[in-house]
Amino acid sequence: MANRSVELKNTFSEHGNEIDEIISKRPHFIVRWGTSFMFLVIIFIVIVSWFIKYPDIISAKAKLSSINAPKTVVANTSGKLIKLFATEGEQTSQGTILGYLESNAKHEDIILLSKNIDSLIQDLNINNFQLLNYFNTSNESLGELQQSNQIFLQALVNFRNYISNGFYLRKKTMLAKDFAYQKKMHSNLLQQKGLNLEDVDLSQKTFNANQSLKNDKVISDFDYRNEQSKFINKKLTLPQINAAILSNEALQNEKQKEIMELENTIAQQKNIFMQALLTFKSQADEWKKKYLLIAPIDGKIAFATFLQENQQLLAGQTICYINPENSKYYAEVYIQQANFGKIKMGQDVLLKFPSYPFQEYGAVKGKIDFISNISTDSGYLAKVVLPKGLSTNYDKQVQYRDGLLAQGEIITQDLRLLQRFYYNLVKNVAK
């Protein structure tokens, strides 16, 4: 029985070895094809890695800025929007009134008053006082300016009374005429003096001739004395003419002095009135700034929100923007030193504004136009120009606001996938 068991174990052992040999023996074609397939896969991955390439994205903080930036029109007081004259996209010019805010005054009266004040100032600067006779503000609805108007009216009445009926102006005209007459008299006296000098010169020659005749005893002493008396009489007229000239010049000085004193008096009174007028103008300008919506520059109107008449507005609320035609936008980008060497001029930059979500509005595309060589605490400053303005790649418009923050994504040079594997390998080995 024991021998039988031993034989069975030997039989099973022999068969097991044969089975193991069959199982462990692999066909040669599987090894060859398996190795070839793995080699082809590796070659394919390398080839694909060579052709696949994409750029690095370097993020940086950016801030929007502009040359000749759009200007805002804001409500400088709380109240209702009484009138709105502007429309979206309308071209407007500097100084154009876009709307009225609620006020106790009649807006048209204040606007007309302001124009009349400007005209009066121009006339006073050239000493034209004609408009004073027609300037009247007592019948106008001036609301908040009523008290200022009363003070101005008192100054107007005082100045108007001072030059009433043109007394001082007529007096100045008469003095000017007198002065002109004295100058003409002075000219005549000088002409008379010249003729007198010629006459004295001729008399001198005549007297010298008579003196020679007397020495030759051709004429008598009596005749000589008569000729001498005539010559002396001729000479006496010259001091009289000189005295008349001096008297005339004294009169001219006196007239000129009177004119200067009168002009000084008029100037003092005009300055007093001008100060009151300029104060009233300043108060009217402040009223217009507070209760009128005025375009600060030339450009197109872009409303910040939906507006309608009688809508309640808050002080400081932005009404609209005036976009000038020659606005040029750019972004200031601060680049950190990490990967700074990859940044080059002309590279594309995508600006994503947190105020305008990227998923909804898209990004604004720009190009690097300048890179500073000097580092600051915030990094290296770069200027990014925006060739398409503030239009996004979703064809939506970002409204300019000075200092609007954005996330800049600088698109660097394309790098192959194989190169990235190699650089990462070198980087890991270096660690």
Per residue in 309-328, pLDDT tens?
A: 889 999 988 888 888 887 78
Look at residue 256 in the predicted model and tell me its pLDDT.
78
Residue 355 makes CB contacts below 8 A (sequence gap 6+) with 404, 405
**3-class SS of residue 79:** strand
| 373's tokens | 């060589």
Asked if the model's pLDDT at residue 18 lies above 60, the reply is: no
Among 102, 107, 112, smallest CA distance to 135 is for 112
Among 116, 152, 115, 111, smallest CA distance to 134 is for 116
Residue 321 makes CB contacts below 8 A (sequence gap 6+) with 70, 71, 72, 73, 301, 302, 303, 304, 399, 400
Asked if the model's pLDDT at residue 293 lies above 70, the reply is: yes
Per residue in 229-243, pLDDT tens?
A: 676 667 667 777 777
Asked if the model's pLDDT at residue 289 lies above 90, the reply is: yes
Q: Match 């008053």 to its residue by tokens.
A: 113
State the Cα–Cα distance between residues 147 and 296, nearest whole angstrom: 29
Asked if the model's pLDDT at residue 422 lies above 80, the reply is: no
- Which amino acid appears at position 50 of this protein? W
Asked if the model's pLDDT at residue 14 lies above 80, the reply is: no
Q: Match 């609620």 to its residue by tokens.
A: 102
Averaged over 120-142, what is the pLDDT?
Answer: 76
Contact status, residue 255 vs residue 182, Cβ threshold 8 Å:
yes
User: Which neighbouring-strand residues pair with 371?
Assistant: 382
CA angle, 201 as apex, 199 and 202 as ends, to 5°? 65
Per residue in 205-264, pLDDT tens?
A: 776 676 676 666 666 666 667 766 676 667 667 777 777 777 777 777 877 777 777 777
Contact status, residue 243 vs residue 189, Cβ threshold 8 Å:
no
| Candidate from 5-14, 135-144, 358-367 with smallest mean pLDDT | 5-14
| 363's tokens | 């990004």
Enter the pTM of the model: 0.56
Among 281, 303, 259, smallest CA distance to 399 is for 303
Asked if the model's pLDDT at residue 23 lies above 60, the reply is: no
Q: Which domains does the chain have, with CATH numbers?
A: 102-288 (1.10.287), 331-428 (2.40.30)
Among 163, 148, 237, 153, smallest CA distance to 197 is for 237
Asked if the model's pLDDT at residue 78 lies above 80, the reply is: yes
Among 149, 143, 147, smallest CA distance to 291 is for 143
Q: How confident is the model at residue 12 (pLDDT cuts 50, 70, 90)?
A: very low
